[in-house]
Chain A
Amino acid sequence: MTRLAFQLSNHQEDFLIAASWVDEIEVVSTDENPDAIVTDDANIQSNEKPILLYGSSPIERKPLIVPALPKRFFPEVIALRESLDAGNLGKLGLIRMHLWNQQNSDEVQEIVHTIDLALWFFGTEPAHIHGTTSAENEIKCSLIHLGFECGGMALLDFNNSLPAGDNYESLCLIGSKGAAYADDHRNRNLFFSGGGPDAKYPDTSMNFIGPMLEDFIQKVKTGADLESNSKSYNEAFKIFSKAG
């Protein structure tokens, strides 16, 4: 059993619900000597405890901080990763992603986490990095294009053009033996109330929390691999910076 404390300014209840569904987690408060802490406060004192930092950029050289990499735990990503790992898709050739957000979204976190996802799928760093941007007023469209030594490629499209409401995501893996498509476009249901219908995705937005916490407590329990998230985050951030 791992004793986790939660201190989040957003989604605290979602995290507590997700934690309650994981057998190996006991939820405690921060003053009950937790084994580890989950927070979105980058300035929190670790007191020698591992900290899963969600939704904030990590502060450099702060020990025991484990930056959350939430995209790795999205339900569709888990399904695609399992298929790839099982060899069903063959050798990975292309990752194509479209990620559209609102203007107030944290662009840096979104792009860094997405780059991490591409590196995680390919299991290596890119040999070629190219970025380009188009912008008008507050709207920015960014494109990051990565080439890997194995010949694989990733093409990642971001923008913050959407009005308040849902985001849009599309992830496609093209392998030598098969392909996998995870696309909000095909997962939307129609709701009619006059005029054009609303196309709504069933709310699964917080389903990543459970698997992400399970991964974190495994790292806490074994004490191993606690730095791997930081390394991955920093590598992705470096590529984000190079792509401009």
Chain B
Amino acid sequence: MKRTDREKEPYRVGVLSVVKHDYLPRAIAAHPRFNLSFVSDEISRPEWTHERNQKFADEFQIPYIKDITAAIKDNPIDAVAVSPEAERHCELAIIAAEAGVHIVVDKPLSTNTHKCDKLIDAVNENGVRCLVWNRNYLPALIQANQKVSSGEIGKLLSVHCDFYFSKDAGPPIGSRKSNDPPIEWLDRQLEAHADGSDGGVGTEAMGELEVEGIYPLAYIQMLTGGAKVKQVFARTKSHFHQAHFDNDVDDLATVTLEIEGGITGSLSIGRIGAASHPDIGEIKLHIIGTKGSAVISEARPEVSIYYRDQPSTEFKNQRIADKNNYLLAENFARSIDGTEKPILDCVEARDICATVSAAIDSSKAGKPVKVDNRKK
């Protein structure tokens, strides 16, 4: 762990849209090295986005400016926190890069590698830093990474991640009556905002692999020391939720990973329903090296709390000592300082996007597919 340098002047941050989750701009606002300057989005956005942006701006007592270019031009800022609909992540991040400000952007970076490439080009051309949100600083991940990077388990041979979110996503599959229209993706996502299960908010339907796959793949990316996934074989399915079925996207997926350096890996992921686990879900890493192996529960450490009349929606096991958000913000500050590399940068997130795309293609084709990683 490193000391936060409170002597430095805080970086000024513009929030570019805060319509999905607000954990990202909140984390930035909570860190002593950042101050929020404004919230901005385009005036052409639908009314629900303005409502959410305005609400956040009001809470933090900062202006909401309905013109991103003007907001960046008229307000001296060092960085932006980008948290719009997932399909707009790259678009807004590119505006910021071209304006010469650093970027922290919510996950997933995109479902489209071409959009990612445009962002990477803009980041490189303008010499700014770009951090993509992730969970690599959870206590169990820090522990796992220390075990691997210290060489304690020898050369890494295989790494597997089971990543199940026990969340619902609207009515269960098979519940739609024959005369009912298919569920509109955006309608479902807007409805889901209340319980925070709207990770795929936007007009573009996204499966679980596309929305959440970046988390476990970022774990694997970190644990392998940045080794690229070369080829995948995958199966995907809409197994739980009518909204996923109606929009032809997965809520359950398995991926075999063939990784540089002779490493194998795998990922099983699903939005498996709230009834399927007492907490947020079963999330585990299985790591095999030439000198040792590890089984890591992502949730640990945690405490168990049970009491009479406990709300059914309250997790019985609560994670403790989770400083992921703070450490990500710290990493972002240090990246801007030039003393650290972002723990997940836009090139790495772009190649994760390519892995996810290859997995979806593999599932459709029923055969292995090579991953279109960014050329160096």
Q: Are A161 and B297 in contact (CB under 8 A)?
A: no
Instruction: Find residues 312-339 in chain B having any chain A CB closer than 8 Å to their own CB.
Output: none
Q: Knowing A179-B277, A181-B282 are in contact, say whether A168-B295 is a contact too (CB < 8 A).
A: yes
Interface string of A107-149 (1 = CB under 8 A from B): 0000000000000000000011010111111010101010100
Residues of A within 8 A of B62 (CB): none
CA distance A93 to B237 in the complex (A): 8
Residues of A within 8 A of B268 (CB): 94, 96, 155
Q: Return the chain B residue nearest A180 by Cβ.
A: B276
Q: Which residue of B lies closest to A129 (CB)?
A: B233
The interface stretch among A9-17, A66-74, A169-177 is A169-177
Known: A93-B270, A141-B157, A161-B157. A179 touches B288 (CB 8 A): no
CB-defined contacts of A153 to chain B, threshold 8 Å: 235, 237, 252, 254
Would you call B158 and A178 a contact (CB within 8 A)?
Answer: no
How big is chain A's contact interface, by range? Answer: 35 or more
Contact A93/B286 with A98-B160, A157-B158 known, Cβ cut-off 8 Å: no
User: Are the C-beta atoms of B366 and A147 separated by less than 8 Å?
Assistant: yes
Q: Which residue of B lies closest to A147 (CB)?
A: B235
Alpha-carbon gap, A226 to B367, bound state (A): 36
Q: How long is the Cα–Cα vector from A141 to B258 in the complex, in angstroms?
A: 12
Q: Which of B158, B272, B276 has the most A CB atoms < 10 Å from its CB?
A: B158
Q: Are A137 and B282 in contact (CB under 8 A)?
A: no
- A-B pairs with CB below 8 Å: how many? 122
Residues of B within 8 A of A143 (CB): 158, 256, 264, 266
CA distance A134 to B263 in the complex (A): 6
Specify which of A98, A133, A137, A176 is in contact with B286 (CB 8 Å cutoff): A98
Q: Is the CB of B252 within 8 A of A161?
A: no
Question: How far, in whole Å, are A141 and B155 apart by their CA atoms in the complex?
Answer: 13
Check A96 against B158 for contact (C-beta < 8 Å).
no
**A residues in contact with B293, CB < 8 Å:** 100, 159, 161-162, 168
Q: What is the distance, in angstroms, from A209's C-beta to the closest C-beta of chain B?
A: 27
Interchain CB contact (< 8 A) of A136 among B282, B284, B290: B290
B233: chain A residues within 8 A (beta carbon)? 130, 132, 145
If A93-B237, A130-B233 touch, whether A155 touches B158 (CB-CB below 8 Å) is: no
Could you tell me if A141 and B158 are in contact, using CB atoms closer than 8 angstroms? yes
The answer to whether A128 touches B366 (Cβ under 8 A) is yes
A152 part of interface (Cβ distance < 8 Å): yes
Q: Would A177 and B254 count as touching, CB distance under 8 A?
A: no
A91 to B254, CA, bound (A): 17
Q: Is the CB of A157 within 8 A of B235?
A: no
Judge whether B194 is part of the interface by a CB distance below 8 angstroms: no
What A residues does B237 contact at CB under 8 A? 93, 151-153
Residue in contact with B276 in the complex, picked from A98, A147, A152, A179, CB distance below 8 Å: A179
What residue in chain B is nearest A134 (Cβ atoms)?
B264
A221 at the interface (CB under 8 A from B): no
Cβ of B305 under 8 Å from chain A = no
When the two chains form their complex, are residues A161 and B266 in contact, meaning their CB atoms are under 8 A apart?
Answer: no
CA distance A127 to B273 in the complex (A): 26
Q: Is B172 in contact with chain A by the CB < 8 A criterion?
A: yes
In the complex, what's the smallest C-beta–C-beta distance from A42 to chain B, in angstroms? 31
Contact A159 B276, beta carbon cutoff 8 Å: no
Q: In the complex, A174 Cα to B368 Cα: how many Å? A: 24
| Interchain nearest-CB distance for A1 vs B (Å) | 44
Q: Is A185 an interface residue (CB 8 A)?
A: yes
- A176 contacts B173, CB within 8 Å? yes
Closest B residue to A140 by beta carbon equals B157
- 30 CB < 8 A contacts A-B: A91-B239, A93-B252, A93-B270, A94-B252, A98-B160, A100-B293, A130-B368, A133-B264, A134-B157, A134-B263, A136-B262, A136-B290, A139-B288, A147-B235, A153-B237, A155-B256, A157-B160, A161-B288, A170-B286, A170-B295, A172-B282, A174-B239, A176-B240, A177-B172, A177-B273, A178-B273, A179-B164, A179-B282, A185-B284, A185-B297
